[in-house]
Amino acid sequence: MKILNCPLNGPRNIQEFVWGGEVTEMPDPNRCTVAEWGDYVFLENNTRGVIREWWCHAATNYWFIAERDTSTDEILKTYPAGEVFTVRTDFEVPEEDSKG
Amino acid sequence: MTTSHRLPEPFGLYIDRSRTLGFDFEGRHYSGLAGDSLGSALAANGVKMVSRSFKYHRPRGFLTFAGLDCNSYVQFGDEPNVQADRLVLTDGLSASALNVSGSLENDRDAYLGHFSRFLPVGFYYKTFFRPKGAWAYWEKIIRRKAGLGNVDKKTPHGYYDKAYLFADVCVIGGGPAGLSAALEAGKTGAEVILIDEEARLGGSLNYAFGAGGQERASKLAAELAKFDNVTVLNPALCTGWFADNWLAVIQGNRLYKLRAKQVVLASGSVEQPMVFRNNDLPGVILGSAVQRMIRLYGVRPGSRAVVCTGNDHGYRVAQDLRDAGVEVVAITDLRNEEAKCVEAGALAAQGLRILSGHTVYEAIPERGKRGISGAVIDSITGEGEVSGSGETLACDLIVTSVGYAPLAQLMCHCGGRMKYSDALHAFELDERPKDAFFAGSVDNGFDLEAALAEGAQSGWSAAKTAGAKVGKEPAKPGAKGAEGINYPWPIFPHPEGKDFVDFDEDQTVKDVINAVADGFEDVELMKRYTTVGMGPSQGRNSALNSVRLTNKANGRGVSGSTTTTQRPPFKPESFGHLAGRSFDPERLTAMHHRHVEAGAQMMLAGAWYRPAYYGRKADRLACIEAEARNVRNNVGMIDVSTLGGLEVRGPDAAEFMNRMYTWAYKKQKVGRARYLLMSDQTGAVVDDGVACRFSEQEFYVTATTGGVDGVYRAMLRWNAEWRLKVDVANVTGAYAGFNIAGPNSRKVLEKLDCDMDLTAEGFPYMGVREGRIAGIPVRLLRVGFVGELGYEIHMPASCGEALWDLVMEAGAEFGIKPFGVEAQRLLRLEKGHIIIGQDTDGLTTPAEADMLWAVGKKKPFFIGKRSLDIMAEARPLERKLVGFTLPGDSPVPEECVLVIKGDRIVGRVTSAARSEACGGIVGMAYVAPEDAVPGKSFNIKLEDGAYIYATVASIPFYDPDGKRQEL
Amino acid sequence: MQATELLRRSFCYRRLDALGASYAEVNGGALAQDFGDTKAEAKAARTLGLAELSVLPRTGFKGEGTPEWLSGQGVALPEQSNWARRQDGGGLAARLAPNELLILDSESGEGKLVAKLNGAWAGESRPPETPRGFPVPRQDSHAWFLVSGEKAAAMFAKLCAVDLRPHKFEDLQIAQTSVARLSAVVIRNDLGGTLAYHLLFDSASATYFWDVLIDAMEEFSGRPVGAAAVKSLIG
């Protein structure tokens, strides 16, 4: 069984983790085209080589990012999500929901 | 007691001559000694035949005498396929042979061997599949004839379990190289685990190097025992080597999962059989096997032997045979040149007949084929060819020594590969996994001193790589002695066949060649077509010769060819090891035992147990109806502890809720609850619940029993990206909860010591409060899934049972009764409330579920919003969820029966039940959007194929104005 | 007394009842003091014992501002995540994440630390000017067992893939992992020189986990022990 190094909990059997998909950037949902949105929601890049993935340590529900080479299945490094997502995300409002 | 085949001391390292054990084999009584295996005890009694083969029921005897073949598989009590040469003899042990009809001696199916020419490779594929359906007939007959052993389905479960082990260095194999590796690694202070299959450490030192070898093994083992940091696991077997040095190790009834920083593989090698006619008969045996018999068990393997060798080891074997009092009739040496080793010279000097350039070409069966009576020897004229003017020598033993194959299967489990070396005529380790070292004959190291030195160096290097403080590097090993060990072509096909390549599967030279001729040219294809290498010994004894034959037949040449893919386990594992002592967590609510005491039928919801209904199974419908009636007329109580609970808190809590759920929460008033609907990125409905706002910054959110863990994880995942000032906590297990519902529910609560204003004005419908009941801190939610005046009470789980009891007691005078999940399902259906996952599926959108009222239109974002916007613009709805009624005399449709329009399936029934309160059958179904109008009818196809007409009805069916829940 | 006399109950008190537990009231619940053989239990606590401590006080705080607020309340914080720190006057502060702490009261339940912290948090007006984290209901979300004795690590090796042996897993170190397929917080907290581990895990799974541990302990002659035996370790 592979070992995955959790930035919070240290190296653990990969059985302790849940895969969360590739790290992708959400296009601006209010401005992007239908095709761009469909690509984001439905298509996987299926890259051969090093990709960034979301992984969650199940016992602590701690999400972090791992860099993995899809051709060798080697995990190159792991780090907290905050190293990639450094600023608050806001969605631009056409106008606030009257009820909201 | 010694038997005629038992040798005196010093032979028999393993046995204790002072303890005699009685045992039975095939109904006959024998005696053996403590320390014997069943196999050695049988051999000591002169028993040579221990089983019959899988396909032709040919007599089979010992081959490797090390548990590396399946010739000696026996049935041991209720356990099939036990290796006789590994089964430790115990007093009173009883075993029988495999693959026999009648008895081992007189097998009614032995005639099958005569049909071998009619059972060519691919026979089953070619014969029994035409005409269509023929296999169904033949299968039963063939399966009865074939198969290995019998399974007793009544066998009680044994206790098997699993445990984890950790090591800096794991050494696999306790022979000279492994012992030396473990010792050197041990000296560094590293945590070392040494695994060996034998009860006594030493490996080949104990049988192949005379008394001196045994002395060295004892010395090494004694030195090893001094190190507290070295653990020896033996007898134990490593059956798998997985990513990052994760090893499966079986010892007794326990499966260990061992994580090692570094592995030293010193698993040795297995001697390879020769191929000639009748090479499978009892009495044809490997040189290393007779050495084991003699040295380990003190058993004389026969009385007259012909030794056929392709290397110098054969002379050592011949010497051992003579020492054990076996007459060696002749040694045929496949090589043309004379052997140079000391033993050869000594034997020649003693007048032993040694024939260079000669082979054993055929074994002559004795009458009844239970052994051999002679060997045909002949001079070699070319690769696999003989002169044809052979000579027959009378003997009862043919001992072969023609080379070895590395026992490197474990290495191949985790990405290593073996490759055929032209120089060595052997497989050698090619690609090697990382964090691993190799020593001894697994790496074609046959020189003893070199193997010991290799071991030491591997152990030292492994400890160093694992981070141990090491001393001076051990001396470099000398020459490995790999050359001249494997004879290039020990295969002598016979025109009349019976020249077996694979003993497990009864496959001969012709079968391999025919497979190639049939187009299965690659070893991987040949293997699948012929089944060579697919038996229990997994090609350990057949891979080398079958790869040689295949690559000769296909013209590619054997140079550089690989073995077939090796997969775990290395040897068969019992189901007990795999299945034993697994863990299945169960979750019980605080009130669980109260339900059981009240006679509830419990059902599983994920890992939770929930009461389905209270009463006997035979009265199921009546129980459900009575429970529902009591809620509508009096008051009922249902355990809702399993529902998810999440705390969403912080300055951005409302903004976060707005993003996670479809509706709008920023202006939700403190002290109020609001419905929640969650969609995923594709716009499909995935969960629901209610949001209770306890302060500006604090929401208490419920989620479905099965959905909460996923919802919680999704929330954390999204906020890892958004970085809002919000904290989410999963408090599902912290709160027990029950819903008290029915017109009398307020009266029940008023009777209790409750510090909250319960009046309709002070605590209206959809209000939420925090307070105390009977001194227990609670959250009180005036929400109702069932459509009656009701309260959901959430309390600390540790107080759940106490409060349940108090409410039951207070409610007695108002007719309170518990109700289960089934009654709740009926009650909510009457109110038209959906259950996510029952009334929705993986594609249902809020529009299809007719829940657009719960979708905020002007929010800039929620998960799924853009997808829903695109769908709303791009295409009309394809289906819509509606309520329906059926005439009272209709059957109740099963969930998921289809809604048909013309020749199209337009939807399905999601829920349906007979409702007393509504006076008939009510249900929900997906119908074509144009039919989703109250009063219209649609067609349901029942399970039996009959159609019924249902009428779309407006929901809720019951109390459409919601007056009862708002009392 | 009976466990059912009080409102707060152990999550698996029926198992304790069946073993003939004698209870004493602690923190509004019945704490099993012994199972009728205090001598054998005191001995088992040193070799391998399992104690059910769920009624003892504990709490948790998490979210931005948590460490600062707790420091302000006089809690001595461990510097790193997955480490615990003993508190003066008893009890333990376990740092599960940079902004998440679990507070265990003393094994005797008399530390009063938990009551003090819960009271302090509830007593302040909300919403606060500066972030101070939020309480998490650890008293009820998690059951609390204590496994003690020299054989404890060998027993855990049958249930947990993390190496908890004393020379690899230090006193006050924390592992948040899966034990017998259940998410658990394992805190090593040696008591009077005896190896001991706190186990905190889903309270609804307490009966399951009790049975699993009893089964795993059998090989080492481990047994249930009462709070009195745990106290005897502290001296």
Least confidently predicted of B667-671, B723-727, B784-788:
B784-788
- Do residue B803 and residue C7 have CB atoms under 8 angstroms apart? yes
The H or E element containing residue B405 is: strand B404-406
Q: Supply the pLDDT for residue B536.
A: 87
CA distance B322 to B14: 21
Taking the model in full, what pTM does it have? 0.93
C-beta of residue B202 within 8 angstroms of C-beta of residue B221: yes
Q: Supply the pLDDT for residue B148.
A: 67
CA of B198: how far to CAs of A27, B37, B63, C197, in Å? 63, 11, 18, 37
C-alpha closest to that of C201 among C192, C193, C211, C209: C209
Is the pLDDT confidence value at A96 over 60?
Answer: no
Most B-contacting residue of C4, C56, C134, C144 (CB-CB within 10 A), to test interface: C134
Q: pLDDT grade, residue B630 (50/70/90)?
A: very high
- Do residue A12 and residue C162 have CB atoms under 8 angstroms apart? yes
Flag whether residue C178 sits within 8 Å of chain A, measured between CB atoms.
Answer: yes
Most B-contacting residue of C136, C140, C151, C167 (CB-CB within 10 A), to test interface: C140
What residues have CB less than 8 Å from B427, skipping those under 6 apart?
B405, B406, B408, B418, B419, B420, B421, B543, B544, B563
Q: What is the number of CB-based contacts under 8 A between chain A and chain B?
A: 88
Is the pLDDT confidence value at B236 over 80?
Answer: yes
Section B2-26 average pLDDT: 91
Is the pLDDT confidence value at B270 over 50?
Answer: yes
Q: pLDDT grade, residue A99 (50/70/90)?
A: very low
C-alpha closest to that of B178 among B445, B447, B455: B455
Least confidently predicted of A33-37, B552-556, B687-691, B795-799:
B552-556
Q: Which residues of B touch C55 (CB under 8 A)?
A: 798
- Do residue C81 and residue A16 have CB atoms under 8 angstroms apart? no
Section B164-176 average pLDDT: 98
Is the pLDDT confidence value at C69 over 50?
Answer: yes
C-alpha closest to that of B176 among B442, B448, B445: B448
Instruction: For residue B144, give how far its alpha carbon lies from the nearest alpha carbon of chain A (Å).
Output: 39
Is the pLDDT confidence value at C181 over 50?
Answer: yes
Nearest to A85 among B681, B720, B865 (CB): B720
Q: Supply the pLDDT for residue B99.
A: 73
Q: Is B325 helix (H, G, I), strand (E, B) or coil?
A: coil
Q: Is C214 helix (H, G, I), strand (E, B) or coil?
A: helix
CA dihedral B480, B482, B483, B487 (to 10 degrees): 160
Is the pLDDT confidence value at B780 over 70?
Answer: yes
Model pLDDT for residues B239-253, shown as the tens digit of each residue: 999 999 999 999 999
Touching subunits of A (3+ CB pairs, under 8 Å) are B, C
Pairing of strands B880-886, B644-649: unpaired
Q: Supply the pLDDT for residue A93.
A: 65
Taking residue B843's Cβ as centre, other Cβ atoms within 10 Å add up to 12
Is the pLDDT confidence value at B666 over 60?
Answer: yes
Section B884-906 average pLDDT: 94
Instruction: For residue B796, give how far its alpha carbon lies from the nearest alpha carbon of chain C (Å).
Output: 6
- 3-state SS, B85-136, equals CCCECCCCEEEEECCCCECCCCECCHHHHHHHHHCCCCHHHHHCCCCCCHHH
Section B923-938 average pLDDT: 97
Q: What is the number of CB-based contacts under 8 A between chain B and chain C?
A: 126
Enumerate helices (H) and strands (E) in chain B, giving the number of each. Answer: 22, 48
User: Which region holds residue B149: left if phi is over 0, alpha if psi is between -120 and 50, else beta?
Assistant: left
Is the pLDDT confidence value at B117 over 80?
Answer: no
Least confidently predicted of B517-531, B701-715, C142-156:
B517-531
In this prediction, what percent of chain B has a pLDDT beyond 70? 97
Per the structure block, which two tokens stand in for C234?
A: 């502290």
Check residues B195 and B152 and name the one with the higher pLDDT.
B195
Per the structure block, which two tokens stand in for B272?
A: 């390879």
Q: Is B508 helix (H, G, I), strand (E, B) or coil?
A: strand
The type of residue at B503 is F
Flag whether residue C80 sits within 8 Å of chain A, measured between CB atoms.
Answer: no
Q: Which residues of B touch C165 (CB under 8 A)?
A: 166
Q: Which residues of A touch C176 (CB under 8 A)?
A: 9, 57, 59-60
Pairing of strands B254-265, B161-172: parallel
Per the structure block, which two tokens stand in for B188?
A: 């560094």
Is the pLDDT confidence value at B910 over 50?
Answer: yes
Model pLDDT for residues B514-564, shown as the tens digit of each residue: 999 999 999 999 999 998 988 888 899 999 999 999 999 999 988 888 888
Buried b (16+ CB within 10 A) or exposed e, B696-722: ebbbbbbbbbbbbbbbbbbbbbbbbbb
Section C207-214 average pLDDT: 98
CA distance C134 to B661: 22
Is the pLDDT confidence value at C112 over 80?
Answer: yes
In whole numbers, what is the pLDDT of chain C averaged over residues? 95
Instruction: For residue C86, give how far its alpha carbon lies from the nearest alpha carbon of chain B (Å).
Output: 25
- Do residue A8 and residue C97 have CB atoms under 8 angstroms apart? yes
Q: pLDDT grade, residue B935 (50/70/90)?
A: very high
Q: Which residues of B touch C202 (CB under 8 A)?
A: 585, 587, 733
- Do residue B716 and residue A87 have CB atoms under 8 angstroms apart? no
- Do residue A61 and residue B664 have CB atoms under 8 angstroms apart? no
Model pLDDT for residues B501-514, shown as the tens digit of each residue: 999 999 999 999 99
Q: Supply the pLDDT for residue C111.
A: 72
Is the pLDDT confidence value at B2 over 60?
Answer: no
In this prediction, what percent of chain B has a pLDDT beyond 90? 85
Per the structure block, which two tokens stand in for B763?
A: 């605590």
- Do residue C178 and residue A59 have CB atoms under 8 angstroms apart? yes
Q: Supply the pLDDT for residue A98.
A: 40
Q: Supply the pLDDT for residue B364.
A: 97
Taking residue B295's Cβ as centre, other Cβ atoms within 10 Å add up to 28
Touching subunits of C (3+ CB pairs, under 8 Å) are A, B
Per the structure block, which two tokens stand in for B693?
A: 């706002």
Flag whether residue C175 sits within 8 Å of chain A, measured between CB atoms.
Answer: yes
Angle in degrees, 0-180, between the axes of helices B509-517 and B543-553, rounded to the nearest 10: 40
Most confident of B52-61, B822-831, C106-115: B822-831
Q: Is B955 exposed, middle or buried (0-12, 13-18, 19+ CB in 10 A)?
A: buried
Is the pLDDT confidence value at B283 over 60?
Answer: yes
Q: Is B612 helix (H, G, I), strand (E, B) or coil?
A: strand
Q: Supply the pLDDT for residue B142.
A: 67
Q: Is B83 exposed, middle or buried (0-12, 13-18, 19+ CB in 10 A)?
A: buried
Is the pLDDT confidence value at B460 over 50?
Answer: yes
Q: Supply the pLDDT for residue B565.
A: 87
Q: pLDDT grade, residue B760 (50/70/90)?
A: very high
Nearest to B859 among A41, A73, A100 (CB): A100
Nearest to A100 among B246, B720, B858 (CB): B858
Is the pLDDT confidence value at B350 over 70?
Answer: yes
C-alpha closest to that of B665 among B816, B531, B859, B508: B859
Instruction: For residue A80, give how far its alpha carbon lies from the nearest alpha carbon of chain B (Å).
Output: 9
Is the pLDDT confidence value at C100 over 50?
Answer: yes
Section B712-722 average pLDDT: 97
Pairing of strands B880-886, B947-953: antiparallel
Section C43-53 average pLDDT: 98
Instruction: For residue C99, give how far its alpha carbon lies from the nearest alpha carbon of chain B (Å).
Output: 10
B789 — phi, psi (to 5°)?
-50, 130
CA distance A1 to B884: 52
Model pLDDT for residues B139-156, shown as the tens digit of each residue: 777 666 666 677 788 888
Q: Supply the pLDDT for residue B839.
A: 97
Is the pLDDT confidence value at B466 over 80?
Answer: yes
Task: Compute chain C's Rg from CA coordinates.
Answer: 17
Q: Supply the pLDDT for residue B631.
A: 97
